[in-house]
Amino acid sequence: MMDLLSNLALGFETAFSPVNIIWCFVGVLLGTLVGVLPGIGPTATIAMLLPITFTFSPVTALIMLSGIYYGAQYGGSTTAILINLPGESSSAVTAVDGYQMARRGRAGQALATAALGSFFAGSVATLLLAMAAPPLASVAIRFGSPEYFALIVVGLLVSISLAHGSMLKALGMIVLGLVLATVGQDAYTGTPRFTLGQLELYGGINFVSIAVGVFGVAEIFRNLEDERGREVGVKHVTHLWLSREEFRRIAAPVMRGTALGSILGILPGGGHVLASFASYAVEKKSSKHPEEFGHGAIEGVAGPESANNAAAQTSFIPLLTLGIPAHPVMALILGAFILQGIVPGPKVISSQPELFWGIVASMWIGNVMLVILNLPLIGVWVKLLSVPYRALFPAIVTFAAIGCYSINNNPFDVYAVIVFGVLGYALIRCGCEPAPLLLGFVLGGLLEEHLRRALIIAHGDPMVFIQNPISAVLLAVGVIILVVAALPSIRGKRDEVFAEDEG
């Protein structure tokens, strides 16, 4: 306990430095902004801002990027409640009852519920991160290549089972990501692979180009094709506080949502999305008035918003302790670590305690900032929502192109954004979710490295993965998860959940 307190003291000392406070504020403000504006999202935003972070210290860069991510979870609820258009996928279920509350003149109470539930959940989940990460890192530091290979396989299999739509398509996206990760020179032999004679591909495909193309440009294409009306029905939001009865009604849902989100956020793939839908299902089943759900039940806002914000914080656990991202945003933050010359994983906590504990402490500070920002600035967000999307996308595309070009000062990276933007749009039109593609791409290099290293140590014997108890158990868990997810009853419920998401 004393070690935890001393580490947190170090973290707050780091996070409260003037430069880190400023960039934490910038991060959560940008995160709220991209959460409020549908069609941008934290993935593309972080990808576009990566070049800016080159001039920052590692802790400052990662504090800002982290703030963008969990700030977007807050901002996504604003559009979900006011215009029935979630800014973030994890806020989709919030729109069900949040928008109905707004239509009945209770937008202020819905927004206050989302902000307070998010603050409580984010604070508790950050405490769990601080308590759980060091023990997990001490275990992970003993992992060898067979264990890491098995762990990455489990992560990819879980991401397939949690992906939207067809599991077969999700598997195809993972495989495509793994194939793209092999482009470039072989790390062991130096032999070029799939470079098509292009010297620019010898170092591999720029993951920022893939992220911006598949998530940013492709999403812009989709929004321009089917730009839904974004008329804000609520021009003035009042009563930004809750009555005693409303506090009583949201208390248990917030607690349950926090617990669910804290657990499910660790899962690879879409843990934060799954957490919000699972929380909504739990609240509907446990409510004494289930008939209110879908017609403005405040519990339908409190539970999911708490769940997705708790999941946003705990999704940092596998990244900071194992060096394995839980979803595309974490994959980009993993890239930020690498660009700063830091190898993420269990050694970060011991070798760079200021970095790890500074990020943890900044999450508490950021959550306080978000509560202070979100409620007073509701009027600003309402006005922003009236800006036509066609007026926003040229600026988004321009910043994306500048950001990608400035990484290597190479126009090839901009061409790659265009190619992957078209590819991402085609995949969306075919009903494929691009998130598993980016996870496969980011984890592909690690998967190949640990596979080949384990086989070299074992003199080419593949039984090393089964003979090692930890890797054998992990591989068995991955297979069980995939089989269970494919069972007709489970698959039916899964399809029902994601059908509600799309609806």
The answer for residues whose C-beta is within 8 angstroms of residue 111's C-beta and 6 or more apart is 77, 78, 81, 237, 240, 374, 375, 378
pLDDT category of residue 259 using cuts at 50, 70 and 90: very high
DSSP state letters, 387-451? S-HHHHHHHHHHHHHHHHHHHHT-HHHHHHHHHHHHHHHHHHHTT--SHHHHHHHHHHHHHHHHH
Residue 164 above 70 pLDDT?
Answer: no
User: Which residue has better confidence, 416 or 386?
Assistant: 416
Residues 186-225: tens digit of each pLDDT? 877 878 888 888 888 888 887 778 877 887 777 777 767 7
Amino acid letter, residue 71: G
Question: Is residue 374 within 8 Å of 78, Cβ to Cβ?
Answer: yes
Q: What is the mean pLDDT of residues 464-483?
A: 85
| pLDDT beyond 50 at 292 | yes
Using alpha carbons, list the distances in angstroms from residue 118 to 154, 306, 311, 359, 372. 29, 5, 10, 18, 12
Average pLDDT rounded to a whole number, residues 475-497: 68
CA angle 166, 263, 211 (to 5 degrees): 50
d(CA 440, CA 105): 45
Average pLDDT over residues 421-435: 84
- Using the predicted structure, report yes or no on whether residue 139 has a pLDDT greater than 80: no
Residue 258 confidence class, pLDDT cut points 50, 70, 90: very high
Burial (CB count <10 Å: 0-12, 13-18, 19+), residue 231: exposed
Q: How far apart are CA 395 and CA 434, in angstroms?
A: 23
Is residue 266 helix, strand or coil? coil
Q: What is the pLDDT of residue 238?
A: 61
Range 135-144 average pLDDT: 79
Q: What is the band of 110 on the pLDDT scale with cuts at 50, 70, 90?
A: confident
- Provide, rounded to the nearest whole percent, the portion of the chain with pLDDT above 90: 7
Calculate mean pLDDT across residues 253-280. Answer: 80
pLDDT-based confidence at 21, cuts 50/70/90? very high
Q: Considering all CA atoms of the chain, what is the largest pairwise distance in Å, rounded to the nearest integer?
A: 70
Residue 403: predicted pLDDT: 67
DSSP 133-155: HHHHHHHHTT--HHHHHHHHHHH
Across 245-368, the runs of DSSP E, i.e. the strands, are: none
Whether residue 334 has pLDDT greater than 50: yes
> For residues 56 and 339, which has the higher predicted lDDT (pLDDT)?
56
Question: What are the residues whose beta carbons fall under 8 Å from the beta carbon of 134, sequence distance 6 or more?
Answer: 7, 349
Nearest C-alpha neighbor of 352 from the set 61, 11, 24, 20: 11
Could you tell me where the DSSP H helices lie in 182-217?
Answer: 207-211
Q: Higher-confidence residue: 300 or 2?
A: 300
* Rounded mean pLDDT, 455-465: 88
> What tokens were used for 13?
């000392």
Please say if the pLDDT value at position 165 is more than 70. no
* pLDDT score at 481: 75
pLDDT tens-digit series, residues 66-102 = 888 888 877 777 777 877 666 566 677 787 888 888 8
Q: Can you name the residues that pair with 185 across neighbouring β-strands?
A: 192
241 vs 236: which has the higher pLDDT? 241
Confidence of residue 255 (pLDDT cuts 50, 70, 90): very high
Long-range contacts of residues 474-477, Cβ cutoff 8 Å, at least 24 apart: 474/147, 474/150, 474/151, 474/153, 474/154, 475/150, 475/153, 475/154, 477/154
259-268, 304-313, 383-392 — which one is most confidently predicted on average? 304-313
Please, which contacts does 251-254 make with residues 24 or more away whose CB atoms are closer than 8 Å?
Answer: 253/117, 253/279, 253/283, 253/299, 253/302, 253/303, 253/306, 254/116, 254/117, 254/120, 254/121, 254/302, 254/303, 254/306
Instruction: Report the SS3 class of residue 192.
Output: strand
CA distance linking residue 81 with residue 83, whole number of Å: 6
pLDDT at residue 462 in the model = 86
pLDDT for 253 equals 92
Residue 185, SS3 per DSSP: strand
Cβ contacts of 63 within 8 Å, gap of 6 or more: 15, 20, 23, 24, 27, 358, 359, 362
What are the tokens at 379? 């009027």
Instruction: Provide the sign of the torsion angle of the four alpha carbons 403, 47, 217, 442, taken in this order.
Output: positive
Asked which of 153-162, 253-262, 488-497 is least confident by mean pLDDT, the reply is 488-497
Q: What is the model's pTM? A: 0.73
How far apart are alpha carbons 247 and 11 in whole angstroms? Answer: 32
381, containing H or E segment: helix 378-384
* Residue 501 binned pLDDT confidence (cut-offs 50, 70, 90): very low
Distance (Å) of CA 326 to CA 139, 268, 320: 19, 4, 11
Q: Is 500 exposed, middle or buried (0-12, 13-18, 19+ CB in 10 A)?
A: middle
How do residues 40-74 score in pLDDT, each as one tens digit?
Answer: 667 767 777 777 777 788 899 989 988 888 888 77
Query: Residue holding tokens 């549908």?
Result: 38
> Which backbone phi and psi does 458 adopt, to 5 degrees?
-90, 10
Mean pLDDT within 154-180: 80
Give pLDDT, residue 477. Answer: 85
How confident is residue 23, by pLDDT bands cut at 50, 70 and 90? very high
The whole-angstrom separation of Cα 262 and Cα 257 is 8
How confident is the model at residue 19, as a pLDDT? 93
Evaluate if residue 18 carries a pLDDT over 90: yes
Answer whether 239's CB lies under 8 Å from 289's CB.
no
Going by C-alpha positions, the residue among 4, 250, 273, 25 that lies closest to residue 128 is 4
Average pLDDT, the chain: 80
Contact 372, 240 (CB under 8 A): no
- Amino acid at residue number 223: N
Task: Please report the pLDDT score of residue 389 as a whole number.
Answer: 64
| Mean pLDDT of all residues in 173-181 | 90
